Amino acid sequence: LAETIESVEVRQSLTAVAASLLPQLVATISAQRISLIQYEQPVCAKVNEIPEFVETTASSVACPVSREMVAGILREFGPRARLRPFVSNDRDGFSQRLGWSSIERVILVPIRNPSEEYGWLLAVNRTQFAENGAVVPIDDVDPAQNFGTFEAGLWAATASFLASHAHNNRLFADQEELLLGIVSAMVRAIDAKDHYTKGHSDRVSRISKVLARTLNLSEQDREQVALAGLLHDIGKIGVPDEILTKPGKLTSDEFERLKEHPVIGYDVLRRLRKLEFVLGGVRHHHESFDGTGYPDQLVGEEIPLFARIIAVADALDAMTSNRPYRKGRTFREMLPVLLQNIGPQWDPQVIQALVDARHEISEICMAKELEEFESPTLSIEKCLTPRLPAII
């Protein structure tokens, strides 16, 4: 049980944590049935109410306890359980006073902290091992078979852990929302500098994700390369507007200034620890497979895979987009150009993935022309690699 708790990650939902904990708990306290009763939304800890809830259960033997019975237990014993763990072994009281003949013993504790209540932990009835080793219900009144101090203490400790986890999980979700807000604001700032490239980062993100899937990368890698694609040009925020929006050909000095944007983007983002997985793609998406690119003249597989993917997506979108000085070409027209530059400029495997996914990627390019493109749905949670501690 301790090992399971130790392995819990802060981004796991309370339901997911319960799915791993409850089967072990039902055996540890020899209960017939235990439940995580979780509110749809946390409530103020000072309010004595039982809102709508969902129930996750684990059973060692058949135990006919209905949702109505669970709601009745919460109404009947919840106020006392909020003061201290509620333990009752009064089988006659359950049967005669409440009409619940299937309930003999109960432990009930709230999952709460001083400010919020998230739900309840409920254990119903005891079990024992028969002579043949099977788990069977206890149907006698032997006091030695009652729920006692050990079970109540374990239940209270588990509820305290779950309350702490639920609180930290909400903080984690808030951090993710904030980080995505920062990312979105940075990308929109780039779009605002040059309306001709508006939506470019979104499209590079989506194309990169398709390429990653076609290359059979993991779901996490797909999400990560999509976010790296979204941020690949973030360094252009440090490039003067007159260079970004110049309608004609750039001078050599202007081009050298523009070439600084991968390093600028890298320097901006490397301070965001949770986004470290995008750094390779941001810094190296203008490297060429033969080592003639910038900023570090990396060769072949020295170039991070995310950067090799983004390089193809970036080039394709740039060539199929309108600019002040030229009209964008179609996907069909540009595909031969990409194929001709396999090796010198682009990774052959990534170009092969582009060919394999050409119909889906072509639709992304067409959606741009029809202004039907929607920004990709990204999840910081799916991008994260390191395990975070369950209790902060």
Q: What is the CATH number of the domain that holds 280?
A: 1.10.3210.10
Domain boundary residue, one of 134, 169, 204? 169
Note whether 210 and 355 are same-domain residues: yes
Note whether 324 and 371 are same-domain residues: yes
* Domain ranges, residue 345: 194-383
pLDDT of residue 58: 78
Q: At residue 344, what is the residue type?
A: P
**123, part of any domain:** yes
Note whether 17 and 92 are same-domain residues: yes
Note whether 79 and 156 are same-domain residues: yes
**390, part of any domain:** no
pLDDT of residue 7: 66
**391, part of any domain:** no
**389, part of any domain:** no
In the chain, how many domains are there?
2
Note whether 46 and 133 are same-domain residues: yes
Give the closest residue to 121 by CA, choosing from 249, 238, 21, 52.
Answer: 21
pLDDT of residue 217: 97
Domain boundary residue, one of 154, 169, 184? 169
Gap between the Cα atoms of 156 and 85, Å rounded: 7
Looking up residue 79, the CATH number of its domain turns out to be 3.30.450.40
pLDDT of residue 382: 59
**185, part of any domain:** no
Domain boundary residue, one of 169, 203, 218? 169
Tens of pLDDT, residues 268-327? 888 777 889 999 999 999 999 999 999 999 999 999 999 999 999 999 998 888 766 667
pLDDT of residue 378: 55
Mean pLDDT by 10 residues, the chain (392 residues): 68 79 83 86 73 77 78 88 89 71 87 89 78 53 77 89 85 77 79 73 93 96 94 91 85 94 92 88 96 95 97 92 73 85 91 94 74 49 45 28
**178, part of any domain:** no
Gap between the Cα atoms of 15 and 301, Å rounded: 42
**142, part of any domain:** yes
**175, part of any domain:** no
pLDDT of residue 27: 81
For the record, the structure tokens of 300 come out as 């072949």
Note whether 103 and 207 are same-domain residues: no
